[in-house]
Structure 1
Amino acid sequence: MNRKKFILESLALSAMPGLLQQCRMAGKHVIRGQISGANSTIGHLLRDPAVTGRKPDEIIETGTLVVGGGVSGLSAARRLLQQGRKDFILIELDKQPGGNAACGSNEVSAYPYGAHYIPLPNNELTAYLQFLEECGVITGYDAEGLPLINELYLCFDPQERLYIHGYWQEGIIPAFGLPDSELQQIKRFLAEMDGFRKAKGADGKEAFSIPVDSSSNDEQFLQLDRISMHDWLLQNNYNAPGLHWYINYCCRDDFGTDYRQASAWAGIHYFAGRKGLAANAAPQSVITWPEGNGWLVQQMQKKIAPYILPGTVALNVDTTGEGVTVKVLEVATKKIKAIHAKTCILATPQFVNSRLLAADDARKKTIADHFVYQPWMVANITSRKLTERSGAGLSWDNVLYKGRGLGYVEATHQLIGYQGPKQVLTYYLPLTEKKAAEERTAAQKRSFEDWVSLIREDLLAAHPDFDEMIDEVDVWVWGHGMISPQRNFIHGAVRKQMQQPLAGKVYFAHSDLSGISVFEEAFYQGLKAADAVLQA
């Protein structure tokens, strides 16, 4: 009996909005939808001197101001409250916090606009494990100290499949139709990754760890940051096309970055950094919800909600003799306010910080030269049941071999007992064919019909009745979706330099300072900044 069926029977026993648009596919069927995205219109107010130059209508005093309500900001605020610090405020540009873990919903299901799962947590991450206990993801520990994961949140079977050579195979590592020589290379590669997972440096640290800053500084590992993952494969006699596709898929999936640009250290970390073990789940299991990591963000907000000011955008940040002054705009009322704080945590991406700290020309140039952010498009597709090709049935994660995108996740997969006629499929497309700035420009010019046509072209081979069965598409565009861990970034001097506080008053917390945009990195960035403030 699979997990979903077991839970269903157990329960039976126990009793942002964009403009609505539409396009016509195949000449007749109308697909409704909208283009939404992170609130770039409000964000662009940072560049408007008519706004940033206005005098404040009100002055607010607080001990610590947290700017940004993504995972790092929420984590920092939680830590402050846990340590008894109550004189703080968190401001968030959008109506709801969440950052890249934002989510939406319709009459069928909740669904993610960004990150959609977490892997099993590494067992030494005490603070992270405690958070997962608080929100009921971890329900206890067995006699050996391994966590028990809530069965409701473990991904139900089947977990993943790959459409390859006209057939849906189980699992997403290519196998069906590949020659034995390629399969042997894939086997050798995975064995080498397992070796990296177990490796430690002479300093006693794990070669690849989470957070990344706790990884070994041995030169034998640091040198991997100086070459691309693509070149590392070739240098180590990996030339199988199927393996190269898979590694590029992994780099695009976790980093939004082509493997020709991603550093080998980052690419290997994808495989070697995850070491979590659980009492009731296999190592490769994932934890997920219909709304993705939006569920975790909702849990993070529960105790700190009274301290959050949504719809409030920071315009500039100035250090003073007594602390920090942050000028903000309250979007609903158009009021300008000045927040005086003793300390400030900027839990915002560095490209935003370069504008908030406008007087710091050196920082602005460093960020522009070294921090690359990849744009993404995420589309939540509401459809009737699509026709399936032969092979494995619909899974949680459904990937197309050599597809333009990363495939789609079935958001309705985790809905206990759902038997409705419709489903929601979350389609992911990192925009990696051109330089990031060029992709952003191109994305801004695409119409709703352009996006739907692009999705259609990618999925039609696997689902020939796409034109007739799709009812609605909710398109979300991330202009600066995530940091790109290119060569010399993770172990370069610039990333460490940008983490340093300013004048003992302004602290920084964001996953882009880790070089890898995953939930745990953002979580620990927030903890680190909050602890620094508490010790100041």
Structure 2
Amino acid sequence: MIGRRRFLGAAAGSLALAACEAPSAVSHIEGGFTGVDVERGHALRDGSLAGKAPDETRRTRVLIAGGGVAGLAAARALRLGGVEDFVLFELEDEPGGNSRGTAVQGLPCPMGAHYLPVPGDDAPEVQDLLEELGLRRRVAGRWEYDERHLCHSPQERLFFQGEWQEGLLPVQGVPARSFEQYRRFDERVDALRRRERFTIPMARSTPGPEQLALDAQTFDAWLTAQGLDDPHLRWYLDYCCRDDYGAGSGEVSAWAGIHYFASRHGFHAPGHAADDSEEREAVLTWPEGNGWLSRKLATPLGPERLQAGQVVTRIAQTRAGVELDAFDVRQRKLVRWQAERCIVALPVFVAGRVVQSPPEFLRRTAAALRHAPWLVANVHLSAPLADRPGAAPSWDNVLYGTRGLGYVDAGHQRLDPTPRETVISWYRPLGPSRHDAGIDGRRLLLDRAWTFWRDELLAELSVAHPDLPRLATRMQLTRYGHAMAIPSPGLLAQLDGGQKGVREGRLAFAHADWSGYSIFEEAFSRGHWAGAAVAGLRPEA
């Protein structure tokens, strides 16, 4: 019998050898990098725009630096508060940050984040947004979500031991010891949820002593101390950490590893009854992923208030208010903007560079935070993939033991079941993990040609889909050098529990980095709080 490791290695080696001996096997696949202009960010890093005199000066009431989810949420909150005189500055050509969408051969697909879990009552700001967009409404005294936007079944499956199984936790052919450890981890998470409050957004609760103790150690160390060493359980938990945080379970804190489950629907071992409703386990998704939400947030702003292609080089508080210098990459000129206040919705490490005389808490946090690089590859297929035995094709399709996190089918939400062309989105985290030990993922992203990633993708997914190279026609790859903050041990204490309002004088800071990890709910809530505060509204407690 051939082992899993030998099976994966043989398949990858065979495909690589075939590509080497017969380049025509993949030469028909067009592709390249898209979505992120690395030169813009590097111009700020290298200081090539530093000290440049402004070509003109303009004025507005409020400035928003950063057009990711936090910046867009801040703009919405300003408008809700009656403030229309503001300008938002976005580095790339479209706003949304990690929550942007794109299209390949005319088919919409995500450029980053691809779903939003149905939010709980700790995230009323996100709930209000979904109600505003018509995604949820009250019927007969209870909230209902528009089923067209909920992920259709089947939702997820795992390629394990040569066939597909439902769900992502390995269950088929695993020993009784694995199930026993699944149950024990279930009990540990449930006990922690009963003793401590884990919330999304995290600022809605204050970490207790047990959470701070979890924060002081790695997730791997905590699991080992609990006697949880089953390889299938450890693979699954490592996968979850890489999926949400971009780094492995040996790099993130035990608090982060537990929070992944305890703040949402818990962890449910096979055979144990779930104590959460089906609604809480549901996710909202769209062919273009969370790009659907970002575009809904950006559309009301218009080109005057949404300034894309802007490199923010300086933010300074003055006696009269705030100044912001932004280099317009199209017009090749530097504009100095003056305003009463500024919402800094930039990643913390960028804010630390551009804010003049940065406050101590900003310097300290910028020095403490690490960010995980990511690659997202969207692959156009001329026809549906042939399938291996087992569970039916799903929205999320994961292969056991691989470097990548599997792929999402962007066409899964179509109501017409007729087989046709589609796009699959492959996610490859490059933060520190056992899969990439000793590798500088950021440098690898920058130095390798797109064909390097094409070959890794094809080798990995062809184990389950041997016809993938033949059906693929085009790949569009997006590189994120600093995709998301890594919740390393000690970070929760460093962030003072992720305090709700981060302000300094006329500056309000809003970004998921201030929570220590990157998800839509954290970014949106922090942007909303900052915008509401600047507009004079009183955010919900």
Give TM-score scaled by structure 2 length: 0.88
Distance 2:311 2:438 in 1: 25
Q: Which residue of 1 aligns with 2:171?
A: 175
Flag the 1:379–1:320 CA change in 2: closer, same or farther, 3 A. Answer: same
Question: Does residue 213 of structure 2 align to residue 223 of structure 1?
Answer: yes
- Structure 1 counterpart SS, 2:412: helix
208-217 or 396-405, larger mean C-alpha shift: 208-217
Shift of 1:498: 11
Separation of aligned partners in 2, 1:435 and 1:340: 46
Specify the code of the residue in structure 1 equivalent to 2:494: G
Deviation at 1:37, TM superposition (A): 4.2
- Per-residue CA deviations over 1:309-364 (Å, capped at 9, x if unaligned) read 22222111111111111111122111211100111111010111122125549677
Counterpart of 2:10? none
Residue 443 of structure 2: aligned partner: 441
SS of residue in 2 equivalent to 1:380: strand
**Distance of 1:373 and 1:248 partners within structure 2:** 17
Question: For residues 464 and 59 of structure 2, what CA distance do their matches in structure 1 show?
Answer: 58
1:308 corresponds in structure 2 to: 306
Q: Verify: 1:285 aligned to 2:282, yes or no.
A: yes
In the alignment, which residue of structure 1 is the partner of 2:16? none
Q: How does 1:112-131 map to 2 (within 5 A)?
A: 112-131=110-129
Structure 1 distance, partners of 2:361, 2:209, is 28
Confirm or deny: 8 A CA contact 1:275 1:283 kept in the other structure.
yes
In 1, distance between residues paired with 2:495 and 2:512?
17
Aligned with residue 52 of structure 2, among 48, 51, 54: 54
The gaps in structure 1 that reach 5 residues or longer are 1-22, 202-206
- CA gap 1:54/1:216 in 2 versus in 1, 3 angstroms: closer
Deviation at 1:232, TM superposition (A): 1.2
* Pairs within 5 Å for 1:10-25: none
Note the aligned Cα RMSD (angstroms).
Answer: 2.5
Indicate the residue corresponding to 2:526 in structure 1: 525
- In structure 2, give the amino acid aligned to 1:341: A
Between 1:44-53 and 1:267-276, the stretch displaced more is 44-53
One-letter code of the match for 1:135? L
Answer whether contact 2:373 2:441 (CA < 8 A) is retained.
yes
Q: 1:252-307 deviations in whole A, cap 9, x for unaligned?
A: 00010110011111111110111599x99543221100000000111112333352
Contact 1:81 1:304 in 2 (8 A): no
Residue 340 of structure 2 corresponds to residue 339 of structure 1: no
Identify which range, 340-349 or 485-494, moves more after superposition: 485-494
Alignment of 1:452 with 2:450, yes or no, is no
Q: What is the rounded CA distance, in whole Å, between the counterparts of 2:443 and 2:155 in structure 1?
A: 35
Corresponding residue SS for 2:338: strand
State the SS of the aligned residue for 1:254: helix
Kept after mapping to 2: 8 A contact 1:495/1:513: no
Q: Report the counterpart of residue 201 of structure 2 in structure 1.
A: 211
2:325 match: 327
Residues 365-444 of structure 1: pairs in structure 2 closer than 5 A: 366-367=364-365, 369-383=367-381, 384-417=383-416, 419-432=418-431, 433=433, 434=436, 438-444=440-446
> Deviation per CA, 1:215-265, whole angstroms, max 9, x where unpaired?
233212221111111111111111110000000000000010110011111
Q: Which runs of 5+ in 2 are unaligned?
A: 1-18, 267-273
Find the aligned partners of 2:417 and 2:331 in 1 and give their Cα distance: 42
Rate the CA distance shift 1:389–1:435 in 2: closer, same or farther, 3 A: closer
Q: Is the 8 A contact 1:25 1:467 kept in 2?
A: no
Q: Give the % identical residues.
A: 37
CA distance in 1, matches of 2:265, 2:165: 26
Q: Aligned partner of 2:205: which letter?
A: S
Is 2:158 the partner of 1:162? Answer: yes
Taking a change above 3 Å as real, the CA distance of residues 195 and 149 of structure 1, as seen in their structure-2 partners, is farther
1:512 equivalent to 2:513? Answer yes
Following the alignment from structure 1 to structure 2, what is the Cα–Cα distance between the partners of residues 77 and 495?
A: 26
CA deviations on 1:139-171 (whole Å, 9 max, x unpaired) are 33442x3x2110110111111100000010011
Aligned partners of 2:101 and 2:163: how far apart in 1?
Answer: 32
Separation (CA, whole Å) in 2 of partners of 1:216 and 1:354: 26
Counterpart-to-counterpart distance in 2, 1:84 and 1:524:
19
Instruction: Give me the whole-angstrom Cα distance separating, in 1, the residues matched to 2:113 and 2:362.
Output: 28
**CA 1:459–1:140 in 2, change beyond 3 Å: closer, same or farther?**
same
